[in-house]
């Protein structure tokens, strides 16, 4: 076997294609073009297996063929994923193309020789080297005129289990769409035991029509021109490029650790009570009018305000020689926030990113959690009133200006609504789900808690010293009687 590194051996590298003779071309909407050269979204699903099923001969001869067959059947429903993003010289803009004779999804089959890796990753409360997970996610190919849409790596950990690492191109899939695909694949894989012609539930059938996305402000051309300007600055050799800007989004893994934290339902209730008790006491100078006093804050507002403030305070303590400045942004699903209805099973991007109207020093103030919670709450309220696309045309330049001023940008990936811990390929539910690509920035990874009893699971990658400080601040902040 060839090897990826000293611990990972390549068993097979192949291409899995749908049994389809249909050629397909799909345009990229302005929602897609926002993310045209953004880094891949990478996730890993870890599953445990009995010793007998995790033996290499059994796994690769019995379980892998089932995963391959179900993947091929699933791709018949999700043809765009088997294709590529292309930008021919005679086209004014890039688009998705699937050619039945040539295209398919890259699948890497690998085996780890180190069971310690598997056990380390499954430990929820124990930080491990951030670089460890990088061995279990595949590369996503891209050039100036071509980009793969999805690649998959299945890694066996003998006597323990296996992982499915998935890299997806953000210009084709948002989190909801990529999760829909994985759920569909799992559903077909599980039903292969009962039928050779499995079908999908209606909510897992992708809606591919792009006509439902209206673009009255011509944001499509705005984003193409924006990326061309960014390309001319960073890649002077070719302005027209769809190559992922790896130099801007390198994984930050040197001296960094990856860890998972949990906020139980009880923890969230404590935070809710604490924040709301001070809601009217914290008044911002720029506040135009008295803000309504909510009866209850969402788990999203509570988690993001609490975790972002804990991160900011940990970084400030670690780098106390100068005053640190922070911002916070989060993705917004627009499917039910636009003037015209977008089907829930729409397959593609339908998310925008929004920056919360905080001051750079808000996160480290004494009442920082209340200030940030109020501003996240206010931002969501404004979007619910129809302003979800406001400011989108200048978002990239606003971000670049902030970062140029030394502001550390914090973001969010994932959602507690995706239901990733329910994804069963026929081998049981995952032992752990990790959003690996949070290591490419200061990003909070969100999933529902594994026990499905409410609460939130938070994934982070931070400098070792910062993570130690965060651990202390995080746990001290929820260890109080409500």
Catalytic positions: 170, 424
Burial (0-12, 13-18, 19+ Cβ within 10 Å), 184: buried
E strand or H helix at 475: helix 464-478
Give exposure, 318-352, as e/b (b: 16+ Cβ within 10 Å): beeeeebbbbbbbbbbbbebeeeebeebbbbbbbb
d(CA 395, CA 355): 8
Structural tokens at position 415: 């959602």
d(CA 28, CA 35): 10
Structural tokens at position 343: 């089907």
Angle between helices 299-318 and 464-478 (to 10 degrees): 130
Angle between helices 265-277 and 368-382 (to 10 degrees): 90
For every residue of 355-424, which 3-state class applies, written as one string?
A: ECCCCCCHHHCCCHHHHHHHHHHHHHHHHHHHHCCCCHHHHHHHHHHHHHCCEEEEEEEECCCCCHHHCC
DSSP-derived 3-state class of residue 354: strand
481: left (phi over 0), alpha (psi -120 to 50) or beta: beta
d(CA 449, CA 455): 6
Specify the residue for token string 């039928």.
Answer: 195
Chain centroid offset of residue 132 CA? 18
Angle between helices 395-404 and 219-234 (to 10 degrees): 30
Q: For residues 360 and 185, is the Cβ–Cβ distance under 8 A?
A: no
Chain centroid offset of residue 399 CA? 19
| φ, ψ for residue 289, nearest 5 deg | -145, 165
Give exposure, 217-253, as e/b (b: 16+ Cβ within 10 Å): eebbebbbebbeebbeeeeeeeebbbbbbeeebebbb
């Amino acid at each position: 076997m060839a090897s990826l590194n000293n611990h990972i051996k390549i068993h097979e590298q192949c291409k899995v294609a749908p049994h389809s003779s249909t050629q397909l071309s799909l345009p990229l909407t302005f929602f897609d073009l926002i993310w045209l050269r953004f880094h891949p979204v990478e996730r890993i699903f870890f599953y445990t297996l009995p010793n007998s099923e995790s033996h290499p001969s059994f796994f690769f001869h019995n379980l892998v063929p089932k995963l391959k067959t179900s993947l091929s059947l699933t791709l018949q429903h999700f043809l765009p994923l088997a294709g590529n993003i292309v930008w021919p010289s005679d086209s004014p803009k890039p688009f998705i193309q699937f050619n039945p004779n040539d295209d398919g999804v890259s699948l890497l089959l690998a085996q780890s020789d180190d069971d310690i890796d598997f056990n380390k990753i499954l430990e929820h409360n124990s930080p491990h080297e951030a670089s460890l997970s990088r061995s279990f996610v595949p590369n996503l190919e891209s050039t100036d005129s071509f980009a793969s849409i999805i690649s998959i790596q299945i890694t066996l950990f003998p006597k323990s289990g296996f992982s499915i690492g998935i890299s997806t191109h953000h210009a084709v899939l948002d989190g909801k769409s990529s999760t829909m695909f994985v759920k569909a694949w799992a559903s077909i894989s599980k039903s292969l035991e009962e039928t050779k012609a499995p079908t999908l539930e209606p909510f897992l059938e992708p809606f591919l029509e792009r006509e439902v996305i209206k673009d009255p402000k011509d944001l499509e051309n705005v984003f193409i021109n924006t990326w061309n300007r960014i390309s001319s600055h960073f890649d002077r050799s070719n302005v027209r490029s769809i190559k992922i800007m790896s130099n801007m989004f390198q994984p930050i893994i040197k001296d960094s650790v990856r860890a998972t934290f949990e906020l139980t339902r009880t923890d969230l209730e404590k935070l809710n009570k604490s924040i709301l008790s001070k809601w009217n006491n914290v008044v911002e100078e720029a506040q135009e009018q008295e803000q309504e006093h909510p009866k209850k804050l969402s788990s999203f507002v509570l988690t993001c305000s609490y975790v972002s403030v804990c991160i900011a305070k940990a970084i400030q303590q670690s780098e106390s020689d100068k005053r640190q400045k922070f911002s916070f942004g989060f993705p917004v699903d627009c499917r039910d926030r636009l003037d015209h209805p977008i089907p829930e099973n729409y397959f593609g991007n339908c998310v925008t990113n929004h920056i919360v109207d905080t001051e750079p020093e808000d996160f480290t103030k004494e009442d920082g959690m209340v200030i940030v919670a109020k501003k996240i709450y206010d931002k969501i309220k404004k979007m619910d009133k129809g302003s979800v696309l406001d400011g989108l045309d200048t978002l990239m330049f606003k971000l670049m200006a902030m970062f140029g001023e030394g502001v550390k940008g914090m973001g969010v990936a994932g959602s507690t609504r995706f239901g990733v811990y329910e994804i069963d390929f026929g081998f049981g539910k995952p032992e752990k789900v990790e959003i690996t690509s949070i290591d490419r920035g200061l990003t909070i990874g969100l999933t529902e808690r594994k026990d499905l009893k409410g609460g939130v699971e938070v994934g982070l990658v931070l400098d070792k010293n910062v993570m130690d400080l965060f651990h202390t601040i995080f746990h001290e902040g929820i260890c109080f009687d409500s």
